């Protein structure tokens, strides 16, 4: 990769400038006994940073716009009749070129495509060399300039620290950018999906996406009603909450109100272990042990239980959420000032009465927030349901039957070999958008409730 070489060379040049500037500052400082603005290393850093700046700018600009420029140039060389018409065709065209250049051409390419591929390759090579030369030259030039202009009065330390502060600020924006990128990519790809399938179709009761290679024909796209997916998700989530909420809450109550020090010393790490088990392990356990056990148990009662029942997946998901629920309830209970509890004890209430009649009503908003977070977690949980829940989208509320969830469908639709930008794969982003909105609403609500609740006791 020429980019790697460029970056490496630029770093070497910067290092040299660092040493030069530092040496110069040291030499000055030893000759002149007077005050000086900054220590020698800061002079070194400053000149090094100035040398590095143009390289970063060039590479960033090229990473952002380079491909678009090359693609435009390639298309300009193409005869108008051969050029792809729609945006989708354009994308396909360049995917094909990328495949050819990578040596994994699937469909025999037409001569035009082959020629464009050669053009593309030429431009790519040229641009890499140009960018490399340009950035190395500017690196050298800027470094030299800074070195020449720096003297003992240069506020090198302030400048370097300013750069560092900007870098810190930039880092804190990464999280915001991530959210933006998530929202934008989900919305953008979903819009592409809604171009193929009207948004009102989502309300249908049938989920049966079909892969169609041509995305001009509207007939065989399949049906995209998400109601059965949502009902399946909610059913499994409901079962999970039936397990997680009582057990998590009761264990938090026991650990905070009843248990002695030794018992807590054993139980807390135990819950942490439970929380640290990867979800794929839960999924394995659900599919291998719990689902057959549920089936056998059902059969012994004369019930017909699906081998991938919602009950089995929900049970295991509930167990996964126990530690989460427990620690959040723990927080909610701990937020109540101890003197309220003492007040109840001083009136002669038993611990159970205190918990049920004073602590729980007081902690209710906190616990409600905890349940919301747990539900949001259950809705977004993927591996357990992928491994233990079914694939068929049944619209049912019977936990003994097999249902599928939003996350299962996302995984199922994306792990098969699929032409990207078919309605089937694009539907994944619509599902992702729905999942994102659901969990975001619940998290925001939970955070809001919990924050308000904390404030009442502060």
CA distance 328 to 10: 50
Q: Half-sphere exposure of residue 280, counting CA atoms within 13 Å on the CB side?
A: 0
Q: Does 99 bind another protein (CB under 8 A)?
A: no
| CB of 18 vs another protein, minimal distance in Å | 18
344 counts as binding another protein under rule CB under 8 A? yes
- Closer by beta carbon to another protein, 136 or else 316: 316
Residue 456 in contact with another protein, rule: CB under 8 A = yes
Determine, following the binding rule CB under 8 A, whether residue 435 of this chain makes contact with another protein: yes
133: tokens are 């030369």
Choose which of 10, 50, 221, 428 interacts with another protein (CB under 8 A): 428
Shortest distance in whole angstroms from residue 341 CB to another protein: 8
> Which of 71, 119, 330, 381 touches another protein by CB under 8 A?
381
Q: For residue 148, give Cα distances in angstroms to 22, 53, 151.
A: 13, 17, 8
Least CB distance from residue 48 to another protein, whole Å?
17
Burial (CB count <10 Å: 0-12, 13-18, 19+), residue 200: exposed
**DSSP β-bridge partners for residue 223:** 208
Q: Does 218 bind another protein (CB under 8 A)?
A: no
Angle of helix 291-300 versus helix 310-334 axis, rounded to 10: 110
Q: For residue 396, state whether it binds another protein (rule: CB under 8 A).
A: no
Stretch that binds another protein, among 132-140, 143-151, 296-304, 347-355 (CB under 8 A): 347-355
Sign for the pseudo-dihedral over CA of 251, 255, 259, 261: positive
206-209 contacts, C-beta under 8 A, 24 or more apart:
206/393, 207/393, 207/404, 207/409, 208/393, 209/413, 209/423, 209/424, 209/427
For the bound state, the minimum distance from the C-beta of residue 71 to another protein, rounded and expressed in Å, comes to 12
Q: How far is CA 158 from CA 220, 314, 373, in A?
A: 65, 58, 45
For residue 383, how far is the Cα from the chain centroid? 15
Region from 50-58, 82-90, 120-128, 408-416 binding another protein, contact rule CB under 8 A: 408-416
Which tokens go with 114?
Answer: 């082959």
* Cα–Cα–Cα angle for 354, 275, 341, rounded to 5 degrees: 15
Which of 382, 396, 398, 418 lies at the binding interface for another protein (CB under 8 A)? 382
Distance of CA 178 to the CA centre of its chain: 8
* 70 scored as a contact of another protein (CB under 8 A): no
Residue 207: which H helix or E strand, with range?
strand 207-209
Residue with smaller CB distance to another protein, 234 or 349: 349
Among 16, 439, 445, 454, binds another protein (CB under 8 A): 439
Minimum separation from the CB atom of position 11 to another protein (A): 16
Span near another protein by CB under 8 A; candidates 25-33, 79-87, 383-391, 394-402? 383-391
Number of residues lying near another protein (CB under 8 A): 109
The pair phi, psi for residue 209, each rounded to 5°, is -70, 135
Whether residue 146 contacts residue 51, with contact meaning beta carbons closer than 8 Å, is answered with yes
CB of 141 to another protein, least distance (A): 28
User: Per this entry, what is the length of the chain?
Assistant: 458
Site for another protein in 144-183 (CB under 8 A): 157, 161, 164-165, 167-176, 178-179, 181-182
Identify which of residues 218 and 357 has a Cβ nearer to another protein in the complex. Answer: 357
H helix or E strand, kind and range, residue 144 = helix 111-149
420 binds another protein (CB under 8 A): yes
Candidate residues 240, 271, 311, 313; the one interacting with another protein per rule CB under 8 A: 271
Nearest CB to another protein, comparing residues 213 and 338: 338
Residue 172 or 216 with smaller CB distance to another protein:
172
Site for another protein in 354-373 (CB under 8 A): 355-358, 361-362, 373
**Residue ranges in 272-311 that form contacts with another protein under rule CB under 8 A:** 272-274, 276-281, 283-285, 287-289
Task: Please give the helix or strand (H or E) that residue 455 lies within, else none.
Answer: helix 423-456
Give the nearer residue to another protein in terms of CB position, either 56 or 414. Answer: 414
| 40 binds another protein, rule: CB under 8 A | no
Establish if 440 lies at the interface with another protein (CB under 8 A).
Answer: yes
- Select 16 or 182, whichever has its Cβ closest to another protein: 182
Q: Are 47 and 143 in contact (CB under 8 A)?
A: yes
Specify the residue, 277 or 303, whose C-beta has the smaller distance to another protein.
277
127: which residues sit within 8 A by CB, 6+ positions away? 62, 66, 69, 70
């Amino acid at each position: 990769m020429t980019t790697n070489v460029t970056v490496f060379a630029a770093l070497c040049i910067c290092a040299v400038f660092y040493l030069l500037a530092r040496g110069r500052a040291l030499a000055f400082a030893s000759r002149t006994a007077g005050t000086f603005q900054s220590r020698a290393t800061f002079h070194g850093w400053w000149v090094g940073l100035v040398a590095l700046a143009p390289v970063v700018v060039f590479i960033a600009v090229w990473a952002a716009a380079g491909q678009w420029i090359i693609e435009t140039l390639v298309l300009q060389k193409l005869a108008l009749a051969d050029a792809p018409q729609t945006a989708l065709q354009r994308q396909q065209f360049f995917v094909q070129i990328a495949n050819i250049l990578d040596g994994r051409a699937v469909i025999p390419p037409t001569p035009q495509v082959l020629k464009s591929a050669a053009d593309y390759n030429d431009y790519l090579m040229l641009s890499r060399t140009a960018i490399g030369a340009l950035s190395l030259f500017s690196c050298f030039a800027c470094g030299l300039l800074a070195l020449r202009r720096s003297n003992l009065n240069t506020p090198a330390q302030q400048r370097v620290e300013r750069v560092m502060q900007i870098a810190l600020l930039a880092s804190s924006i990464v999280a915001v950018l991530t959210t933006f990128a998530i929202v934008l990519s989900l919305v953008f790809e979903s819009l592409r999906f809604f171009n193929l399938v009207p948004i009102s179709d989502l309300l249908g009761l049938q989920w049966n996406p079909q892969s169609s290679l041509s995305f001009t024909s509207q007939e065989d796209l399949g049906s995209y009603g998400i109601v059965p997916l949502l009902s399946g998700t909610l059913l499994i989530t409901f079962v999970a909450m039936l397990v997680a909420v009582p057990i998590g809450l009761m264990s938090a109550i026991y650990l905070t109100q009843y248990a002695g020090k030794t018992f807590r010393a054993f139980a807390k790490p135990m819950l942490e272990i439970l929380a640290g088990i990867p979800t794929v392990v839960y999924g394995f356990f659900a599919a291998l042990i719990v689902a057959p056990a549920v089936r056998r148990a059902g059969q012994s009662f004369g019930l017909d239980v699906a081998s991938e029942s919602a009950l089995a997946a929900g049970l295991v998901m509930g167990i996964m959420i126990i530690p989460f629920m427990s620690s959040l309830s723990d927080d909610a209970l701990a937020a109540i000032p101890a003197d309220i509890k003492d007040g109840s004890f001083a009136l002669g209430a038993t611990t159970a009465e205190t918990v049920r009649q004073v602590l729980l009503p007081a902690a209710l908003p906190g616990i409600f927030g905890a349940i919301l977070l747990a539900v949001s977690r259950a809705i977004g949980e993927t591996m357990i349901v992928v491994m233990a829940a079914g694939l068929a989208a049944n619209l049912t509320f019977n936990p003994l039957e097999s249902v599928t969830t939003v996350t299962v469908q996302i995984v199922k639709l994306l792990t098969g070999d699929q032409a990207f930008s078919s309605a089937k794969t694009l539907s994944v982003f619509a599902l992702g958008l729905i999942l994102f909105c659901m969990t975001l609403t619940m998290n925001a609500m939970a955070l809001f409730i919990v924050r308000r609740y904390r404030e009442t006791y502060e």
